Amino acid sequence: MALSLLIAIIVSILAWSHFRRRRRNLPPGPYPFPIIGNILQLGRNPHKSLTHLSKTYGPLMSLKLGSIHTVVVSSPDSARLVLQEHDQAFSGRTIPAAAEAHGFDEISIGLIPVGERWRKLRKLCKEQMFSARRLDGGAGVRREKVGRLVDYLRECSARGRAVDLGQAAFVTSFNLLSATFFSVDLIEFESDATQQLKETIEGVTKILGTPNVADFFPILKRLDPQRIKKRSEFYFGRLLGVLGGIIDGRMESRSMETKNDLLAALLHLMDGSEYDLTYKDVQHLFLDLFVGGSDSTQCTVEWAMTELLANPEKMSNAKNELRSVIGEKNQVEESDISRLPYLQALIKETLRLHIPGPFLVPRQAVREVEIGGYVIPQHSQIFVNAWAIGRDSSIWPNPTSFEPKRFLNNNMGFKGQDFEFIPFGSGEKNVPRFASGR
């Protein structure tokens, strides 16, 4: 008797949710269980599980993750609708509880709403970091960092020592950023301090990506049942401490005038400028740039090398191109890159197969929108499954095979104009726009 009552209740909840979905014409999707919704269907690898589900429900799919309505976008056409045609309507971010540590969500360029403050920060980055003057000025620093990586690899090779490529790529990308930002190398190839900073950055990125029951049921945020917020307070605090120490050191040493780096420019702008920059803004902007820039670059380099080692033929194509273009010169210059189409293609192919953010950085609908004949309610969370798009066999022949040459025969770029290939996202928030003068 009790069992049949329970079954009747569950059936009526499912029927009611089905009715509501039809009435509101939401995109189709698997039936959500009461309370937990579709959480169990995410599995251990959500990007793979959602790719699989979208084969049944289509490129615009609704899910209920706890109490959060979520839309999964899995085709280039739907990605174009979301990221380009309705960019403004989908310009919000869902804020994970972990990102609320130290008020990061209220300051971070990646999380604040698109508005006056966000535009000012983007303009600031474009002018102070990615302007042609700043990029040209930093070429020597970048050359030196790459030179140090090459020296380190040679040294290991001469001694017959194995190289931890992930660690080497991390040190190089981190020092490239720190030298551009502060004119110092923060870490060394092999040291305890490097290990600790690496663990801190990894701690921040990992905690931001850990599934948190409090994100599915915001009512639980204050309880922090998995202690995720507490752990993120620790990692964010440690990184902010390192950054604060560098900023304080510069302010105390009064050597601001002698440096020509991003920190000097920002401290100068703190003294009253159109940007209304505070100490906390500067500290959090560096946090944003380190978190956004180190892990993504490191894992791309690591995957590229892994694919090359697993595909000797592609490795020798890359080496041959380098030999013929660089010749006897010992080092590749940035100006050589335009003459290295195979190298460019293999980086694109790496990003296609091993995109660092499979769902990009999730967006949020800031208002109700109608797309493709479906209603997307305000506050819906939007996952653009760029991992699925990059491995869609109707777009990419032999999609799981590493074939850099497929990018030699098309003109696909990085800037989010081709929705088959969007590792950096698209629309106004697109990363290469920092540097593209828009």
| Binding region for ligand HEM (CB under 6 A) | 109-110, 122, 177, 288-289, 292-293, 296-297, 300, 356-357, 360-361, 423-427, 429-431
The residue written with tokens 């300051």 in the block is 107
- 228 contacts 266 by C-beta, under 8 angstroms: no
Q: Least distance to ligand HEM from the beta carbon of 323, Å?
A: 26
Q: How far is the CB of 293 from ligand HEM (least distance, A)?
A: 3
**Nearer of residues 352 and 429 to ligand HEM, judged by Cβ:** 429
CB atoms within 10 A of CB 275: 17
Radius of gyration of the chain (CA): 24
Q: How far is the CB of 126 from ligand HEM (least distance, A)?
A: 11
Cβ-based nearer residue to ligand HEM, 76 or 427: 427
For residue 313, the Cα-to-chain-centroid distance in whole angstroms is: 30
CA atoms of 41 and 86, how far apart (whole Å): 28
What's phi and psi for 299, nearest 5 deg?
-70, -25
Nearer Cβ to ligand HEM, position 27 or 427?
A: 427
Shortest reach from residue 108's CB to ligand HEM, in Å: 8
C-beta closer to ligand HEM: residue 69 or 93: 93
Residue 315 tokens, joined: 């490795």
Q: What angle do CA 231, 278, 293 make, to 5 degrees?
A: 50
By beta-carbon proximity to ligand HEM, the closer residue of 207 and 386 is 386
**Separation in Å, CA 349 to CA 250, 307, 312, 315, 413:** 41, 10, 16, 13, 12
CB of 357 to ligand HEM, least distance (A): 5
Q: Which two tokens stand for residue 225?
A: 């049942």
**Beta strand pairing status for 381-384 and 68-73?**
parallel
In order, the DSSP letters of 219-257 are: GGTTT-TTSHHHHHHHHHHHHHHHHHHHHHHHHHHT-GG
**Other CB atoms closer than 10 Å to residue 82's CB: what's the count?**
26
Q: With contact defined as beta carbons under 8 Å apart, do 373 and 349 qualify? A: no
Residue carrying structure tokens 């994970």: 96
For ligand HEM, the closer of residues 21 and 284 by Cβ is 284
In angstroms, give the least distance from the CB of 214 to ligand HEM: 23
Neighbours of 172 (CB within 10 A): 23
**In terms of CB distance, is 114 or 220 closer to ligand HEM?**
114
* β pairing state of 374-376 and 60-65: unpaired
Beta carbon nearer to ligand HEM, 96 or 356: 356
In angstroms, what is the minimal distance from the CB of 132 to ligand HEM? 17
Strands 381-384 and 363-364: antiparallel
Residue nearest to ligand HEM (CB): 425
Query: Nearest approach, Cβ of 348 to ligand HEM (angstroms)?
Result: 11
Nearer to ligand HEM, 93 or 250 (CB): 93
Residue ranges of alpha helices (H) inside 183-223 are 192-209, 213-216
Residue 299 CB, nearest distance to ligand HEM (Å)?
8
Contact 216, 65 (CB under 8 A): yes
